[in-house]
Amino acid sequence: GAVVSQHPSWVICKSGTSVKIECRSLDFQATTMFWYRQFPKQSLMLMATSNEGSKATYEQGVEKDKFLINHASLTLSTLTVTSAHPEDSSFYICSARGGSSGNTIYFGEGSWLTVV
Amino acid sequence: RKEVEQDPGPFNVPEGATVAFNCTYSNSASQSFFWYRQDCRKEPKLLMSVYSSGNEDGRFTAQLNRASQYISLLIRDSKLSDSATYLCVVIMNAGGTSYGKLTFGQGTILTVHP
């Protein structure tokens, strides 16, 4: 079964609204989670590193005010796409470190966002 | 230069064929290497890790060449179910809070046809 769960799997929203995507580690604590974005026929691009209890670290070119990341607990990180526009339509996916050694990477199932 | 680059593909092969993918990385300090498989509209799933000594898992063989900074994936006796996008993944930092920051290649699409 999944050890990292994302919700929602699919979301359609109107342009200008905000959408929140949740990433949960189900049976382990994740101090660090990673958020990726994948456009059609392209690879996954790291957007930001989410650190529990502190500010996220954003990759170059990713607007921190547009993609709000909150990692308030050891099992939950959220990504909020604010004032979404059609060009934000993409596949968003999170990953987290876990496992007995803490070095196994688990992916969430991903969230498809369509902005109309 | 991209941090991780893969063969552009796509590869279109008949069942039973042997196919190989290569991937180069630019950071010589890269520590860990993986091949992931991604099916259409799904999250990537780990196919296999890549070790310096090379490793094999059934029909799949992965190799690492640190001197030339590339990794490879060989698939023998291709099956229809092998059709997917294969992603080369590199982890740049071996420890600390940065560990787990995967850098993906652009992916290579493989289609196996009857």
Q: Comparing A41 with A26, which gets the higher pLDDT?
A: A26
Q: What is the mean pLDDT of residues A50-62?
A: 89
Cβ–Cβ gap A96/B98 under 8 Å: no
- Cβ atoms of A103 and B95 within 8 Å: the answer is no
Closest chain B C-alpha to A105 CA, distance in angstroms: 7
pLDDT value of residue A99: 65
Closest CA to B98 of A62, A49, A106: A49
Give the span between the Cα atoms of A13 and A88, in whole angstroms: 11
pLDDT at B99 over 60: no
Cβ–Cβ gap B106/A42 under 8 Å: yes
Closest chain A C-alpha to B51 CA, distance in angstroms: 15
Chain A residues touching chain B at CB-CB below 8 Å:
31-32, 34, 36, 42-46, 49, 51, 91, 93, 95-97, 103, 105, 107-110, 112
CA B75, B49, B3, A9 torsion: positive or negative?
Answer: positive
What pLDDT band is residue A80 in, cutting at 50, 70 and 90?
Answer: very high
Closest CA to A91 of B45, B44, B76: B44
What angle is formed at CA B61 by the lines to CA B59 and CA B62, rounded to 5 degrees?
A: 150
